[in-house]
């Protein structure tokens, strides 16, 4: 009986599975081989290297700070995009996606145009006593520039999925629009917003090109990996890469677990 109930597997599914396997291998193999090619003593030595430690730490906190600094603006903007119609909305949506499609070295050059000491923002920063070029502020700006579309798009999709009638019902109950936004829209779109925040953070953390142009020093981990590779070769770059990837992975897993717990608690 069970035999006859079983659906026959489509040959096409098998072909697709095989194709998928190739892609999976293509992604996983280099990473696995990198981990396998790294000996524990090597890793331990690299982990003790203060230059490595400080670059990983710098990468983690600048990317997180960049995300948190831009989050309120990005979330407010994405709400506007989800709820309102305005002229040139299509163009504006396109502009938001630009950082995703332009080469990141070009993004760095463009950003340098407004952040360098004699450009508008650079001058303003100079008056406030800091500089973007070659500083943490510059790193954060470069990271935010390339990663902010991920947060905006994800949050906008989240807000779009919130039933507008719920917001209207809340207004009807006497809530101010800000209160509706904070107590209805944000909590209901929270899963998307959170995943957008994590995406933005991850994207910022992995940025290399734009940061390299604005701030070679202080050195973030991706730049350090590049420098070790250029100066000493693959063998010296690899442990740093492995260490950085491991730290990132650990953070993401923890965050995802926390996020999942939080979402479940809301149900």
Partner 1 sequence: MLSVKNISKSLGDLAIKDVSFEVQEGWYFVLLGASGVGKSVLLETIAGLSRPDAGRVFLDEKDITGERIQKRNIGFVFQNSTLFPHMTVYDNIAYPLRCKKLKNRRIHKRVAELAEDFEVTSLLKRRPQTLSGGECQRVSLARAVAREPRCLLLDEPISSLDVKARPQMRALLRKINARGRAIVHVTHDYTEAVSLGTHIAVMECGRIAQIGTAKEVFQQPKSEFVARFVGIRNFFKGQLEKSDEQRTRRFSTDGLSFSVLSDSGSGPGYIMVRSEDVTIGNAASQTSARNNFEGTISDIVPAGAGVEVIVDIGVEVAAMITSESVKLLDLHCGKKVWVSFKASAVKYIEG
Q: Cβ of residue 107: shortest distance to partner 1, in angstroms?
A: 38
Report the site for partner 1 in 79-118 (rule: CB under 8 A). Answer: none
Q: Cβ of residue 197: shortest distance to partner 1, in angstroms?
A: 18
Q: Cβ of residue 169: shortest distance to partner 1, in angstroms?
A: 4
In eight-state DSSP terms, residue 267 is -
DSSP assignments along 85-144, one per residue:
--TTHHHHHHHHHHHHHS-HHHHHHHHHHHHSTTSHHHHHHHHTT--STTSHHHHHHHHH
Counting contacts by CB under 8 A, is residue 165 touching partner 1?
yes
DSSP assignments along 20-69, one per residue:
HHHHHHHHHHHHHHHHHTS-HHHHHHHHH-HHHHHHHHHHHHHHHHHHHH
Counting contacts by CB under 8 A, is residue 171 touching partner 1?
yes
Among 52, 81, 111, 184, which residue sits at the site for partner 1 (rule: CB under 8 A)? Answer: 184
Q: Cβ of residue 183: shortest distance to partner 1, in angstroms?
A: 8
Region from 15-23, 115-123, 152-160, 161-169 binding partner 1, contact rule CB under 8 A: 161-169
Q: Cβ of residue 174: shortest distance to partner 1, in angstroms?
A: 4
Q: Which is nearer to partner 1, 45 or 163 (CB)?
A: 163
Counting contacts by CB under 8 A, is residue 264 touching partner 1?
no
**132 with 125: CB under 8 angstroms?**
yes
Task: Name the burial class of residue 2, with classes exposed (0-12), middle (13-18) and buried (19+) by CB atoms within 10 angstroms of its CB.
Answer: exposed
Q: Which residues bind partner 1 (CB under 8 A)?
A: 163, 165-166, 168-177, 179, 183-184, 187-188, 266-267
């Amino acid at each position: 009986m069970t035999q006859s109930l079983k659906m026959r597997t489509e040959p096409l599914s098998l072909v697709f599975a095989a194709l998928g396997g190739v892609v999976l291998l293509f992604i996983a193999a280099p990473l696995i081989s990198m981990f396998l090619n790294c000996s524990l003593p090597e890793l331990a030595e690299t982990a003790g290297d203060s230059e490595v430690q400080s670059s990983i730490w710098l990468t983690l906190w600048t990317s997180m700070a960049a995300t948190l600094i831009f989050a309120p603006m990005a979330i407010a903007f994405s709400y506007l995009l989800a709820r309102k119609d305005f002229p040139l909305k299509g163009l504006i949506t396109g502009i938001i996606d630009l950082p995703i499609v332009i080469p990141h070295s070009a993004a760095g050059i463009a950003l340098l145009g407004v952040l360098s000491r004699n450009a508008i923002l650079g001058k303003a920063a100079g008056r406030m006593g800091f500089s973007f070029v070659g500083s943490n502020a510059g790193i954060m700006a470069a990271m935010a520039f390339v990663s902010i579309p991920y947060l905006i798009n994800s949050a906008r999709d989240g807000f779009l999925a919130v039933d507008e009638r719920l917001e209207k019902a809340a207004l009807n109950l006497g809530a101010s629009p800000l209160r509706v936004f904070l107590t209805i829209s944000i909590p209901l779109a929270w899963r998307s917003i959170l995943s957008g925040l994590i995406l933005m953070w991850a994207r910022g953390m992995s940025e290399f090109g734009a940061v390299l142009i604005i701030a070679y020093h202080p050195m973030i981990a991706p730049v350090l990996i590049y420098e070790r590779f250029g100066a000493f070769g693959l063998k010296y770059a690899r442990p740093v890469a492995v260490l950085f990837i491991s730290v990132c992975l650990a953070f993401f897993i923890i965050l995802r677990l926390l996020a999942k717990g939080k979402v479940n608690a809301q149900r």
